[in-house]
Chains A and B, each alone.
Chain A
């Protein structure tokens, strides 16, 4: 455990920790482009130069391992001059027309050249204009803006392992391309837009849609498979503009006492880093599937068409549930949060006395390409299947396929969405059921054939928790406001329960507290986990 001095501060770090990492753990900022915590440093950009006593030249802190008795200085004039010179060099052919660039607002180069850069350049020659290149149908590449940090190249080499990208040409003409005959496959390609520190790589999906500084970022969980990757949702008012990984925000990981160089991570940490740094393309581009706002402007009541206010609909449903007694069939979507599932199962078990529940089946989440080292997908495309299983188990409710519930012809069928069109297949088979209630945010063929539809929220509109395949309870957060007269699914359920039995379950945190107390599985789902999603502390305020 070497002890060394950085900017006059004595610190002790783990074996093999680099100066840059040590500095970050102390909150000392050393500007850097090519270093990334998820893969080996290349020492390419020279931005991270620091002065180390007894070494004649400035050293790249991202590759220099901290050793006993080192004295590091990060703010001397020499260092400052070097940084400014490096930036001037990087900007030789960089257009620096940030207004025109999609990265502006979250660009590291923009931030650094503002902070450390020279105010003018010695270069008089006109900057080179270069053609844009389509790296794939999802990613646009602009060689003008590329600073040759090779993060994208190393990502494909070290993390994905398929090594499609390389630097071609030399000097001012160098650019990133795929090897001849190779192409970037859909799967984990979106991540390179996240890790590229400048606006050279951008996703077609988000390109030009909105300025990043107009978006509000929410930490939440990807709902598209059972892995439950942590994501950021960037949104404005009613619209989700993009989903990205929580890459670049692992500062607190460096404070871990067992911290070691990347290669020395225990397996679980490598997993954690990868899982939080990167997400798959289904999550990045496919989030629209899970949030697409359907056309359910308000409650639909085909049973008593004149009563369409929320109060009417809820008391009608409550009354029907009371009449049906134990002959209530329940179907729950694995997109429901733990709290919703709990309230729903509570309704079935303690109020109706039903002992079985159908869980809508979503297809398995397949890996995209077997050859990649990065394998994030897990289980099926049902984010909260594990949680529902655990709660049903704890309440003594048997999980059956949806067909069986429908085939048993209950007096009343209650479907808790979002169904995401997976119930459409049963539209024909629900004929004999006297009363069908659906809670869903999106119109579907099934919704057109039920008696009561209560518009709910999608995952980006509500608060709650999901349990992933590994049993980790993670928090999802409200990122956008709901349009129209939709209501939070949980509120609808608790209102119905209150209407029937007079019992108040309360809001989401009350119910979570209840589950933590009553269900052993949820023990330890403490506040810290719930606020961060994973066991890391809240992201630092910085963008980078």
Chain B
């Protein structure tokens, strides 16, 4: 094996003194201390606009905050709450359990039934996503052969009790209007 050798960079006097570089560093931090851009969002007084695959806009409680963050949006490919897409009245999902199988965290539970849709054999009787288990990895979306399940940019996933975060078929179908 060829030997690896590294040559240490030779410092010139200015660098070797450190002090000047340290002062420069201090300059950078103090600049940020006084001149700040606003990145942080004071949730829940301020909220982000949800755009992209959901048309839903969250209620913004604070008018001023809204002005401030008007241009800040959740990115298109943010992986938030799940949604089941529908064609007309009927859901697209065929309860094939691909998503349930692929989910590394056992967050999805499905019970199939005979489908009312003549084009399909099965549809979910129960479709449940347990958001407290979900890691928002998006595998289920990748796995779905029918493009039925998708993830929205709905990020505000808070509830007072755990069962509220276990969302059912009906709710999943109405996340996207």
Contacts and interface: CB of A to CB of B under 8 A. Distances in A.
Given A99-B94, A99-B96, A129-B118, A208 B112 contact: yes
Contacts of B146: 99
A100 interface: yes
Contacts of A142: 121
Given A208-B112, A208-B113, A100 B97 contact: no
A214 B122 CA distance: 18
A214 B102 CA distance: 11
Contacts of A213: 101
A102 B112 CA distance: 11
Contacts of B94: 97, 99-100
B97 A211 contact: yes
A99 B121 CA distance: 10
Nearest to A101: B121
A132 B114 CA distance: 11
B170 interface: no
Contacts of A214: 97, 101
Contacts of A208: 95, 112-114, 122
Contacts of B118: 129
A143 to B, nearest CB: 12
B96 A100 contact: yes
A97 B119 CA distance: 11
Contacts of A102: 121-122
Contact of B120 (A100, A104, A211): A100
A211 B101 contact: yes
Most buried by A among B101, B112, B119, B120: B112
B91 to A, nearest CB: 13
- Most chain B C-beta atoms within 10 Å of own C-beta, residue among A100, A102, A213, A214: A100
Contacts of A211: 97, 101
B104 interface: no
Interface string A97-136: 1011110100000000000000000000000010010000
B101 A100 contact: no
The binding surface of chain A is classed by DSSP as loop
A101 B118 CA distance: 14
Q: In terms of DSSP, what is the predominant structure of the interface of chain B?
A: loop
Nearest to B96: A99
A142 B121 CA distance: 9
A73 B3 CA distance: 55
A202 B118 CA distance: 18
Contacts of B113: 208
Nearest to A208: B112
B98 interface: yes
A132 B146 CA distance: 21
B145 interface: yes
Nearest to A100: B94
Contacts of A100: 94, 96, 120-122
A100 to B, nearest CB: 4
Interface in B121-160: 121-122, 145-146
Interface in A206-251: 208, 211, 213-214
Interface in B76-123: 94-98, 101, 112-114, 118-122
A157 B122 CA distance: 32
Most buried by A among B97, B101, B146: B97
B106 to A, nearest CB: 12
Given A97-B94, A211-B97, A211-B101, A129 B119 contact: yes
A104 B101 CA distance: 13
Nearest to B120: A100
Nearest to A99: B96
A99 B112 contact: no
B108 to A, nearest CB: 13
B126 to A, nearest CB: 12
Nearest to B148: A99
Nearest to B118: A129
A142 B94 CA distance: 16
Nearest to B119: A129
Nearest to A132: B121
B99 to A, nearest CB: 10
Contacts of A129: 118-119
A132 B118 CA distance: 9
Contacts of A97: 94, 145
A211 B101 CA distance: 9
A211 B96 CA distance: 8
A424 to B, nearest CB: 34
A102 B95 CA distance: 11
Contacts of B119: 129
A102 B94 CA distance: 11
Interface string A426-437: 000000000000
Contacts of B120: 100
B127 to A, nearest CB: 13
A88 B90 CA distance: 31
A213 B96 CA distance: 12
A101 B97 CA distance: 11
Nearest to B121: A100
Contacts of B98: 99
Given A97-B94, A100-B94, 12 more contacts: A99-B146, A100-B120, A100-B122, A102-B122, A104-B96, A129-B118, A142-B121, A208-B95, A208-B113, A208-B122, A211-B101, A213-B101
Interface of A: 97, 99-102, 104, 129, 132, 142, 208, 211, 213-214
12 contacts: A97-B94, A97-B145, A99-B146, A100-B120, A100-B122, A101-B121, A102-B121, A104-B96, A129-B119, A208-B114, A208-B122, A211-B101
For the complex of A and B, the 4 pairs showing the least CB-CB separation, nearest first, are A99-B96, A208-B112, A100-B94, A99-B145
